Amino acid sequence: MSILGLQGTFDTSSAYDGHDQKSRQAQRQADKWMLPGAVMMTTAILGPIGFPLFLKGVALQRKAAAAGLSVRPLICTLLGYLVIMDSGLNSIGWSLDLIAHHSLINRTLVTAWGNMFDAGYFWHYNELWIGGTGAPGEKSWEIALVPTVFCMRLAAAIGFLQMKRWGHQWLIVTCWFGVIYWVGYVANMTVFADLRYNHVVFPVLGWWIYDIFYITPFLAIPYLHTVNREIFTD
């Protein structure tokens, strides 16, 4: 580290420390905007507030990178926050259905979503003793995935954003989990397609256009398997 060769080793290491500290600070500053923004966007309702906060964070990070500071690679930021949003949105939606099925929000806007895209969330809604969706298999997917894979993905994404090795490893595991649930969930929808699509506003195309953007596991897997693991620390 002889970047500033003028004075002794002490000064060059302090220059490195100074750079390192500035980089960490810049990253933390950016994350202070991005994380609340992303969390708000996953609530859907607070989305219009979260979006500009998130963009401000991205702008801060790009400015820091342009200024030569060592911030997280942009693709890691994108991936991490995308996984947070993906698992967050899924968790919010399905937790509402598991626990808050008789709230006004669910009985209006969620069933409205169901009526428009996926009648699994409209047909016989709140008729089961457990409340919420009555579509075949749907409740089982919710109970299986919300406390397991979506929580795990969220935790792994946070570790990944911190550039931790366990974050990287567990994001790989949970993204492969994601492959399983995509395969199973789509198969279930196809078998019971009559129920899921009959008389919805936008049959088939509506659901696919809406939900195709949740394919983060498939985009994450190639990156996670080809990234140089040295950038992640213990």
3 to 42, contacts with another protein by CB under 8 A? 41-42
| Residue 143, both tokens | 């109970």
**What is d(CA 72, CA 92) in angstroms, rounded to the nearest whole number?**
28
| Residue 28, both tokens | 């933390």
Q: Which is nearer to another protein, 11 or 209 (CB)?
A: 209
Least distance between another protein and beta carbon 231 (Å):
4
Least distance between another protein and beta carbon 71 (Å):
10
Among 12, 32, 51, 152, binds another protein (CB under 8 A): 51
Least distance between another protein and beta carbon 5 (Å):
21
Least distance between another protein and beta carbon 205 (Å):
8
- CB under 8 A: which stretch of 3-11, 18-26, 139-147, 178-186 binds another protein? 178-186
74 to 133, contacts with another protein by CB under 8 A? 74-76, 78-79, 81-82, 85-86, 89, 101-104, 107-109, 111-113, 115-116, 119, 122-131
Q: Which is nearer to another protein, 68 or 147 (CB)?
A: 68
Is residue 193 part of the contact set for another protein (CB under 8 A)?
yes
